[in-house]
Amino acid sequence: MLEPPVRPVSDDDPAYHGLILDRFDAQSRYKLLTGTVTPRPIALVSTVSSAGIVNVAPFSQFMIVAANPGLLGFSASPLADGPKHTVRNIRESGELVINTPNFSMAEQVQACADELPEGESEARHAGLDLVASETVAPPRVAGAPVQFECELEKFVEFGDLPNIIVVARVRLMHLREDLLLTGNRIDTAALDPLARIGGRNYTRLGELKEV
């Protein structure tokens, strides 16, 4: 039997269920959206607190906001007791590094999402090495094929909790040397970017088709 938010299939639209999204609870909406808006690239974000503690956290709602200037964005949902450490740290310092992991880093990325005691390092927990940045205080994640040193451009809030979209301006981009092709193109196959799908499932690029 279909749940109440699901509109029965009609004769005019026999191949689809009609889902009235606002009638689902928040967790169900999350599952429906993250299970269908896929694959999503990962922003592995490193920040530093005012006490000097390094935080590394993954965000799969990650996007290019603009190319002129170079702006990246990711959405951070709140914790039960307030904003995530990443958001708090960015609010305090205005600085962050967005690292883009490759497929081989999937287990380490997921480990960075584990809930740890206050002050415990996600990087150490996940077995990640950190290297100093050049223009910002937060370190970069060693081994990530691309690392963007950024400063906060703005926060944009949505919803009742609220979710926060962090918009960051890229100050310096570190790109693994084998990835840069002529004409400032990127070797996507060599990049082998990690992507998130539904649940705790990740994927990588499959067949590439130029059209």
Tell whether 65 is covered by a domain: yes
Tell whether 122 is covered by a domain: yes
3-state helix, strand, coil in the chain (%, to 5): 20, 35, 40
Q: Where are the alpha helices (DSSP H) in 62-102?
A: 85-93
Tell whether 28 is covered by a domain: no
Q: Which domain holds residue 125?
A: 41-197
Tell whether 130 is covered by a domain: yes
59: its two tokens? 């965000």
pLDDT tens digits, one per residue of 4-49: 566 655 666 667 888 889 999 989 999 999 999 999 999 999 999 9
Q: Using CA atoms, how far apart are residues 60 and 198, in angstroms rounded to an integer?
A: 11
Tell whether 10 is covered by a domain: no
Q: Using CA atoms, how far apart are residues 47 and 12, in angstroms rounded to an integer?
A: 52
pLDDT tens digits, one per residue of 73-86: 999 988 766 678 99
- Structural domain count, the chain: 1
Q: Which of 112, 197, 100, 201 is nearest to 143 (CA)?
A: 100
Tell whether 9 is covered by a domain: no
Tell whether 208 is covered by a domain: no
Whole-structure pTM over 0.85, yes or no?
A: yes
49-77 CB burial, b ≥16 within 10 A, e <16: beeeebbbbbbbbbeebeeeeebbbbbbb
pLDDT tens digits, one per residue of 138-154: 999 999 999 999 999 99
Average pLDDT of the residues of the chain: 92
* Domain CATH code at residue 119: 2.30.110.10
Integer-rounded Cα radius of gyration of the chain: 19
